[in-house]
Amino acid sequence: MSERNWAGNVTYRAREILRPASVEELAAILAREPRVRVLGSRHSFTGIADTDGVLVSLAAMPGEVEVDAAAGLVRVPAGWRHGELVPALDAAGLALANLASLPHISVAGAVQTGTHGSGDRIGALGTQVAAVELVTASGEALVLRRGDDDFAGAVVGLGALGVVTHLTLEVEPTYQVAQTVYEGARWDDVLARFDAVTGAGDSVSMFTTWQDADTIGQVWVKARPGRADHDVLRALGAVPADGPRHPLPGIDPTPCTVQGGEQGPWYARLPHFRLEFTPSAGDELQSEYLVARADAREAIEALRGLAPQLAPALQVCEVRTMAADDLWMSPAYGRDTVALHFTWILDTDAVGALLPRIEQALPESARPHWGKLFAMDSATLARRYPRWDDFTALRDRLDPDRRFTNDYLIALGL
């Protein structure tokens, strides 16, 4: 088999990909196969989905979105992409509180790796989960609901606890969002008013190439009606872009969602990219580190100091925020968080040399995104996650024979 991930930097070693068409077929696979991992939309840059056993795709599993509008809940097949979920929600007049930058990723894959959107008052995607349904190594169909003892350990489960088949998500009535891109802000000014800038909309992203350590290339402000504070950006000397922009300077903005302050449905503004386009300027690698919000200034100043080293290997860096959560393996566990995302050129050696330098320079609150490249060792990770031992104990109970383990998890010490 020569299947590869989305970026092409990982070739999966599994001897085959199995596509069960029912929970019963899935349970039978788990009963006979000693090593199993789940393959989602392949938008991971690490070996988190790799295995020397078999890969399971949920693409053939039947299912539809089950809406309970009165309770504000929807039950979603795990293998669906957000872009497939959105039409069903929209038809019911419902919405999610947030979306990731890409609507192309699978619902369960995003949640299991701690993926997030952005917003001072909005949590990572896992905070929308009200229940997790998974098939464990023993073939048991297990349902964990918010409030259950193991729930907070299972939401961001890294695929180590079982095969997630469905998620129940909290929803709300549909809403509109407008997106405005600003240019010309400077780091010194933004860091002096960081809370005001990141609070200028429901979701705010800052993009820089680190070619210039003083100027921010773009600030994207996404807000529901009446929630944008454009005066904050204007007071810092930023001006609205004179046309559509791609996060990467000079790239055709056609794949990006509508900007210019034009209101539209939540699902057509919160992501950076439209579902109908491939969300890439070309081959790339990605890394992301998430630091405590209290350490945001220290972290950004550290990157400014590394700018001459970062710029040659970098396409763009994005800075955004999210609210604290209580999910054990979430990078936002226990603290409001600032995410520092790097889209690199496809140069594994150059990126591999930079990651230890970045990790050494960042404050000790830095935690990596589980689906993106990092160099942090298992001992460091265990120190930075207060519920690490609780998670490993949960894994030991649900998968005592390590059917769901792989080299990636072993390297993490899991």
- Asked if 75 and 168 count as a contact pair (C-beta separation under 8 A), the reply is yes
> Distance between CA atoms of 218 and 246, rounded to whole angstroms?
9
Helix 348-361 with 296-310: angle, nearest 10 deg: 150
Domains of the chain, each with CATH number or no CATH: 66-174 (3.30.465.10), 176-378 (3.30.70.2520)
Closest Cα partner for 11 from 22, 21, 1? 1
For residue 231, the number of C-alpha atoms closer than 13 Å in the C-beta half-sphere is 2
Residues 6 or more apart from 120 whose CB is under 8 A from it?
A: 195, 198, 199, 204, 321, 322, 323, 336
Reduce the DSSP state of residue 11 to 3 states and report it: strand
pTM of structure: 0.95
Order across the sheet with 163-170: list the strands.
66-68, 73-77, 163-170, 129-135, 141-145
For residue 215, report the phi and psi dihedrals to the nearest 5 degrees.
Answer: -110, 135
Tens digits of pLDDT across the chain (414 residues): 668 887 888 888 888 999 999 889 999 999 999 999 998 888 889 989 899 999 999 988 888 899 999 999 999 999 888 888 988 899 999 999 998 877 778 899 999 999 998 999 999 999 999 999 999 998 889 999 999 999 999 999 999 999 999 999 999 999 999 999 999 999 999 999 999 999 999 999 999 999 999 999 999 999 999 999 999 999 999 999 999 999 998 899 999 999 999 999 999 999 999 877 766 655 899 999 999 999 999 999 999 999 999 999 999 999 999 999 999 999 999 999 999 999 999 999 999 999 999 999 999 999 999 999 999 999 999 999 999 999 999 999 999 999 999 999 999 999
- Asked if 74 and 171 count as a contact pair (C-beta separation under 8 A), the reply is yes
The number of angstroms, rounded, from the C-alpha of 326 to the middle of its chain's C-alpha atoms is 16
Reduce the DSSP state of residue 62 to 3 states and report it: coil
> Distance between CA atoms of 122 and 50, rounded to whole angstroms?
31
Reduce the DSSP state of residue 109 to 3 states and report it: helix
> Distance between CA atoms of 116 and 296, rounded to whole angstroms?
17
pLDDT 10s digits, 155-195: 999 999 999 999 999 999 999 999 999 999 999 999 999 99
pLDDT 10s digits, 322-334: 999 999 999 999 9
Q: How long a stretch of residues is the chain?
A: 414
